[in-house]
């Protein structure tokens, strides 16, 4: 079946303790081998004295920045077959620690050592054996569960595994592992489609990462928003993944007693410091020795989370708890195991596993192009709703400016050309919320599978062209025919290029905001300013010098001049026959080909800017 993702890593041979772990989970590993081709490589993840500081501005942004410690000398270890829970009150550093372990943080000051099988972690190699599942689901609602997994596999797995005879059994196995058989043909769900439940979405997010057969699985708040039954089922399934030889670490806020008892190790953080890390069975005796005995019939996780929550009264002496743990036997045991991993790695040497060829940039382009085309067809909010609006408005405008209406003057036709173009371009802002939704999927795919940015941008661009052309075609046919406008071909091409450039503007804007409503508001404001300076309300020559630069920046300017020139100037030999309303706007010498080329170049340049912002800013790391 080709190399698995886990086989690309820079790993050390398993130590004796790892070999024992392998024998303990051998039945599960054999079962995995039958479904996935190969079991995951055993990988022990350890971290020693990890600290993380960020710079914080003072109030109102004045004065020097101060450093804030998010994590302070945090250490721990998770071996194959172990399920480790990172607990603590909100703001204690749980997610930050997980992000650091997953190499998802590129800002701030970090220190400490993170090791894989006793060898200092190489970020690129580690990402090939580790998968990270964020707290927020990044899924496209217009696809079914099976389709979502198929498309994820195409972007993640080696080309050899994309053959249907291999891919389908792999997806079947993952669906079975995560208990998704009952909803495999159900849409994920969004505002247009009724979909799967929150727990099923969470399991689907994990299933996507299981396709690459990771050795290490890092889960950020996997039970957030789930009821107790869904939480229990999810952690039970995650526990089964551990039995297959995976190393699993998850952050969790306050598990029930049943869920708490499923964990192998517990880490409790308070204000970025370790209050406890070690086996779950040792946690209650450890705190009891410090004078904090868990009451009978109480949920230990609830009691100890309350104990270290400094936001409320009745919390424990956190500095004392931190100090007590730093000198405890549990911490010494962790450090001894980490040191043992290092010694065994040094004795046995380091192997570099063979690499596989991931899907090429061209293959990724094809996969994303096909996905986006299907998404544009299925999601009515992207083009279908806009098409209905365009047809209604075009019919209304066309019948108001009907060619048989003798009262329509040349000035009215100028207003028609301005208004129709401004409205159709303005409605492009509707794409922003859907792009922001897809951007979350892009971040997940780039963070976990090294998605090629150029492939994504090109696929996104070419997938938009058919929909935009259909919008422009319907709007142009109706308006041109009913209103009796000239040069249909030029009108259609000019409208299409304008809308394509406007779509590119929205792509760039969508990379700069995190909320669809804000994106729509900014896009509407920008297009409003462009319409103000395009040369209709006042001629270009009358625009104040300090605003004239915006006339040349506005895509509306080039399209509007082309519309006027083709309607009133093209083919007219006698300049005196050109209406005064048109000569006043200065479009007699317009170069139509140059204006259309400018619109095409406008769109392409913005797509390059779009790609650069995605590459530099939206890296899947923070």
Judged by DSSP in three states, 53 sits in strand
Spell out the domains of the chain, with CATH numbers in brackets: 5-138+218-352 (3.40.50.300), 361-616 (no CATH)
What is the chain's length?
A: 622
Residue 311: CB atoms within 10 Å: 8
Q: Supply the DSSP string of 145-181, one letter for each residue.
A: HHHHHHHHHHHHS-GGGGSHHHHHHHHHHHHHHTT-G
Of 429, 425, 421, nearest in space to 536 by CA: 421
Higher pLDDT, 155 or 4: 155
Q: Among the listed ranges 49-63, 172-186, 206-220, 607-621, which one has the minimum average pLDDT value?
A: 49-63
For residue 589, what pLDDT is reported? Answer: 80
Prediction pTM value: 0.86
**φ/ψ of residue 211, rounded to 5:** -55, -35
For residue 546, what pLDDT is reported? Answer: 92
Judged by DSSP in three states, 525 sits in helix
Beta-carbon-side half-sphere exposure of residue 22 (alpha carbons within 13 Å): 14
Question: Which pLDDT band holds residue 39 (cuts at 50, 70, 90)?
Answer: low
For residue 156, what pLDDT is reported? Answer: 82
Average pLDDT over the chain, rounded to whole? 86
Which ranges in 512-587 belong to alpha helices (H)?
516-533, 545-553, 555-564, 580-583
CB 497 within 8 A of CB 555: no
Question: Which pLDDT band holds residue 619 (cuts at 50, 70, 90)?
Answer: confident
Question: Which pLDDT band holds residue 59 (cuts at 50, 70, 90)?
Answer: low
For residue 351, what pLDDT is reported? Answer: 62
For residue 620, what pLDDT is reported? Answer: 74
For residue 573, what pLDDT is reported? Answer: 58
């Amino acid at each position: 079946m080709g190399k698995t993702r886990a086989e690309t890593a820079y790993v050390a041979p398993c130590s004796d303790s790892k070999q024992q772990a392998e024998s303990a989970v051998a039945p599960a590993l054999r079962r995995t081998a039958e479904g996935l081709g190969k079991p995951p490589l055993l990988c022990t993840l350890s971290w020693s004295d990890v600290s993380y500081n960020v710079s914080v501005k003072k109030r109102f942004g004045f004065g020097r920045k101060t450093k804030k410690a998010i994590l302070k000398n945090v250490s721990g270890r998770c071996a194959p077959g172990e399920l480790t829970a990172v607990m603590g009150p909100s703001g204690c550093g749980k997610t930050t620690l997980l992000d650091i372990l997953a190499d998802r943080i590129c800002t701030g000051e970090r220190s400490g050592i993170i090791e894989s099988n006793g060898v200092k972690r190489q970020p690129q190699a580690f990402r090939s054996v580790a998968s990270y599942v964020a707290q927020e689901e990044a899924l496209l609602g217009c696809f079914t569960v099976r389709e979502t997994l198929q498309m994820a596999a195409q972007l993640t797995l080696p080309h050899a595994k994309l053959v249907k005879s291999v891919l389908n059994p792999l997806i079947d196995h993952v669906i079975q592992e995560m208990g998704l058989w009952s909803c495999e043909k159900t849409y994920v769900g969004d505002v247009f489609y009724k979909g799967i439940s929150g727990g099923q979405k969470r399991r689907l997010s994990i299933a996507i990462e299981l396709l690459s057969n990771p050795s290490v699985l890092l889960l950020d708040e996997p039970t957030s928003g789930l009821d107790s039954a869904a939480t229990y089922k999810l952690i039970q399934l995650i526990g089964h993944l551990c039995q297959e030889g995976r190393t699993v670490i998850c952050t969790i806020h306050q598990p029930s007693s049943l869920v708490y008892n499923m964990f192998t190790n517990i880490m409790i953080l308070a204000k970025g410091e370790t209050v406890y890390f070690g086996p779950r069975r040792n946690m209650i005796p450890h705190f009891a020795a410090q004078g904090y005995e868990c009451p009978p019939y109480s949920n230990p996780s609830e009691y100890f989370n309350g104990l270290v929550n400094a936001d409320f009264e009745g919390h424990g002496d956190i500095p004392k708890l931190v100090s007590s743990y730093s000198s405890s036997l549990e911490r010494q045991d962790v450090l001894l195991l980490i040191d043992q991993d290092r010694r065994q790695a040094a004795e046995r040497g380091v192997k570099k596993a063979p690499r596989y060829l991931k899907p090429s940039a061209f293959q990724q382009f094809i996969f994303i192009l096909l996905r986006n085309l299907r998404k544009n067809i299925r999601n009515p909010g992207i083009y279908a709703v806009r098409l209905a609006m365009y047809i209604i408005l075009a019919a209304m405008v066309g019948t108001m400016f009907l060619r048989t209406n003798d009262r329509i003057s040349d000035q009215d036709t100028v207003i028609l050309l301005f208004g129709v173009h401004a409205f159709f371009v303005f409605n492009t802002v509707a794409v922003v919320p859907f792009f922001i939704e897809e951007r979350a999927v892009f971040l997940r795919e780039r963070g976990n599978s090294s998605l090629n940015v150029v492939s994504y941008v090109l696929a996104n661009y070419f997938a938009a062209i058919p929909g935009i052309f259909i919008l422009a075609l319907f709007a142009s046919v109706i308006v041109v025919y009913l209103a009796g406008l000239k040069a249909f071909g030029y009108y259609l091409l000019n409208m299409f290029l304008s809308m394509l450039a406007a779509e590119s503007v929205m792509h760039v804007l969508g990379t700069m905001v995190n909320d669809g409503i804000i994106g729509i508001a900014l896009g509407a404001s920008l297009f409003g300013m462009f319409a103000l300076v395009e040369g209709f309300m006042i001629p270009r020559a009358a625009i104040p010098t300090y605003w004239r630069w915006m006339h040349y920046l506005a895509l509306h300017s080039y399209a509007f001049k082309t519309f006027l020139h083709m309607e009133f100037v093209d083919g007219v030999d006698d300049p005196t026959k050109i209406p005064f309303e048109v000569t006043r706007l200065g479009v007699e010498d317009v170069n139509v080909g140059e204006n259309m080329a400018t619109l095409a170049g406008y769109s392409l340049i913005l797509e390059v800017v779009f790609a650069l912002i995605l590459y530099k800013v939206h890296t899947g790391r923070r």
